[in-house]
Amino acid sequence: MNRNSTLSLLLISPILFNSCKHDACCGIPAAIADGTWIAQPGMPAEGRSESVAFVIGNYVYVGTGVDSNFTRLNDFWRFDPSNNTWSQQVNLAGIARNSAVGFSVNGEGYIATGYDGYNMLSDCWQFDPNANAWTQKAAFIGTARYDAVAFSIGNYGYIGTGYDGSYQKDFYRYDPSSDSWSATISYPGYTRTQAIAFVYYDSAYVVTGSSSGSVVNDFWRFDPNLDDASQWRQLRNITNSSPGTYDDGYTTIERSNGVGFVLKNTKIGDRAFIATGINGALMNQTWAYNFATDLWNEMTSLPANRQGAIGFSVSGRGFVGLGLSGNTPLSDLTEFQP
């Protein structure tokens, strides 16, 4: 069983294209129409996969993971997009791990769950960026697990899905004000691990992942402001599974262990993206999701295949980095620009 995961709720930038995506009708080169990947300074630490990342203000915090010797890591780093620099932060006070999840609420970051090489974990830690310090918080009340997803909406954090010896689809809400967890409504779809989650306004989206060794094609939206029975709504599948033609080209969206990201107010509207992952082979295909139409378009592929990467957007810029390419853990960072 693969004991790796990726995080994911973090945001990135969409790419300029229009209804005639490739240049023949519009005179726009495909590379410009579909976006461009640009190398940026990588994290100045050993390569790794299955790390976590969370955004606080104008900074991104990245840490934990597993290196080429299968050593679990607990170091943390801050990325400043204003000058593309990295600075080391205090190490996670908890046990070193991979395949954990991270989220941020009200100016503080959180990391929970994961795998330490021997045990699945359920502990939860809070990071204060002003004090550069970690504090242990109430443990996650779901089963200890790894390969889950996490996101934050409003004043709450959420953790769900993952692997605890079985594939799960349960979700739990964390309230920082009371340092307490509560169960929320599970979605009706497939159980899964190594999924992608991203947030758009007051809703979260859960897509991709695998269950019992097979990738899954269902796609779900979560709105905690609705009545319990309506909080989860199924969106269109990410494969060619309808009688219509809109999904005829949906051949490389399915995957597990990829990353997801969002950017608003672009010239083409608001978009989410998924990138990297694995589906029989490592993937670099990048797809854009249109919130207004519930449709996907393929974009320029990431230059290098990988799984277990991190993806995030900060200060209006989007990035993918780290991960595992073959047997090689990476420490690079690549920016996706329109």
Domain range list for the chain: 30-337
What the block records as the tokens of 30 is 């495909």
Sorted by sequence, the CB contacts under 8 Å of residue 204 that are 6+ apart come out as: 9, 151, 153, 158, 197, 198, 221, 222
Q: What is the pLDDT along the chain (338 residues), one digit of tens a residue?
A: 444 443 333 333 333 223 333 333 333 333 445 889 999 999 999 999 999 999 999 999 999 999 999 999 999 999 999 999 999 999 999 999 999 999 999 999 999 999 999 999 999 999 999 999 999 999 999 999 999 999 999 999 999 999 999 999 999 999 999 999 999 999 999 999 999 999 999 999 999 999 999 999 999 999 999 998 899 999 999 999 999 999 999 999 999 999 999 988 777 779 999 999 999 999 999 999 999 999 999 999 999 999 999 999 988 888 999 999 999 999 999 998 86
Give the CATH fold of the 30-337 domain: Neuraminidase (2.120.10)
Please answer whether residues 51 and 63 qualify as being in contact, where contact means their C-beta atoms are separated by less than 8 angstroms: yes
Among the listed residues 291, 84, 306, 79, the one whose alpha carbon sits nearest the alpha carbon of residue 203? 291
